[in-house]
Amino acid sequence: MSAPVLRPRRSVLYLPSSNGRALEKAKTLPVDALILDLEDAVAPDAKESARESACGAAASEEYGNREVTIRVNSIGTPWHDADLAAVATSGAAGVVVPKVGSVDDVHTVVAALEAAGAPDSLRLWAMIETPDAVLDVRDIARASDRLDVLVLGTNDIVRELYAAHVPGREPLLTSLSLAVLGARAAGVAVLDGVYNDVTDTEGLEAECRQGRDLGFDGKTLIHPGQVEAANRLFAPSEQEVADAHELVAAFDEALAEGRGVVTHKGKMVENLHVEIARRAIAMGHAIAARG
């Protein structure tokens, strides 16, 4: 199993590609990544113009160090093939494909991208939105070397489970945990689903904490006002980074002195603790490098 590339994806904001003002504003937002949407947020009669706008934005190089991806319409829709062909050579960092339900879906998408001339740099983000996808998530995540990210479509999963949106997301916990397990087994990143109430700051923060505790790399968002909370809560705090530095230093010192038992602040330190600490340090550096 290979480790995922350490790239901050704390905040990943959906934007309707048919909204020029939103595309322009995104250039100033402190967001790690953008999903320029051609699917749910775009009316059928605006699909083609939205596609042109999204590809133009991706090619513009005006979004700085933000990772710019484009969400195409799902497999089987009238727009899917043209979306993939356009995104393949758009300059986008990733193509986000909704409702990926099987390994065959991944192979079909990858074959279409490669036939359209997609460079290796165009990465696949697969949306996990159905019970079939959740149950096959590890195989989906391993289906192609082009696949870098899993994105949870929690609204669709709730609907298909006949479940309810409730605080704490108890009906979703199995699906969320299986997605994280599958992503980690495959060595890819995994993003939590959206929080629907853009006015509920406390609820958003609680869900971000829960997502981070479950192991998600970040959260997909539907409003710029949600970015700050996701950035803060999916990042190691200054204190956590400082503690990590101290733990690593204590471990290295003990090894240099030939001590077989290492303790830090009264707790025994093993290799796994050092690995966690080094990752926190590396993520802190990666976030700081974004400016």
Domain identity same for 159 and 205: yes
Domain identity same for 161 and 262: no
Domain identity same for 186 and 146: yes
In a domain, 94, yes or no: yes
pTM: 0.93
Contact 154, 192 (CB under 8 A): yes
In a domain, 1, yes or no: no
The CATH code of the domain that includes 178 is 3.20.20.60
In a domain, 278, yes or no: yes
Q: What is the pLDDT of residue 4?
A: 45
Domain identity same for 282 and 174: no
Q: Domain ends where: 185, 213, 233?
A: 233
| Number of domains into which the chain is organized | 2
Q: What is the pLDDT of residue 58?
A: 97
Contact 139, 94 (CB under 8 A): no
In a domain, 36, yes or no: yes
In a domain, 157, yes or no: yes
Q: pLDDT tens, position by position, for the chain (291 residues)?
A: 344 458 999 999 999 999 999 999 999 999 999 999 999 999 999 999 999 999 999 999 999 999 999 999 999 999 999 999 999 999 999 999 999 999 999 999 999 999 999 999 999 999 999 999 999 999 999 999 999 999 999 999 999 999 999 999 999 999 999 999 999 999 999 999 999 999 999 999 999 999 999 999 999 999 999 999 999 999 999 999 999 999 999 999 888 888 877 888 888 888 899 999 999 999 999 999 886
Domain identity same for 228 and 248: no
In a domain, 4, yes or no: no
In a domain, 187, yes or no: yes
Domain identity same for 199 and 256: no
Domain identity same for 271 and 192: no
C-alpha torsion angle, residues 24, 30, 33, 36 (rounded to 10): -20
Structural domain for 152, as ranges: 11-233
Domain identity same for 228 and 252: no
Domain identity same for 216 and 116: yes
CA angle 149, 183, 59 (to 5 degrees): 5
In a domain, 222, yes or no: yes
Contact 38, 79 (CB under 8 A): yes
Q: Domain ends where: 233, 263, 278?
A: 233
Q: What is the pLDDT of residue 50?
A: 97
Phi, psi of 214 (to 5 degrees): -75, -20
Q: Domain ends where: 189, 204, 233?
A: 233
Domain identity same for 178 and 252: no
85-112 burial code (b ≥16 CB/10 A, e <16): bbbbebbbbbbbbbbbbeeebbebbbeb
Task: Compute the distance between CA of residue 199 and CA of residue 257 in angstroms, rounded to an integer.
Answer: 55
Domain identity same for 67 and 180: yes
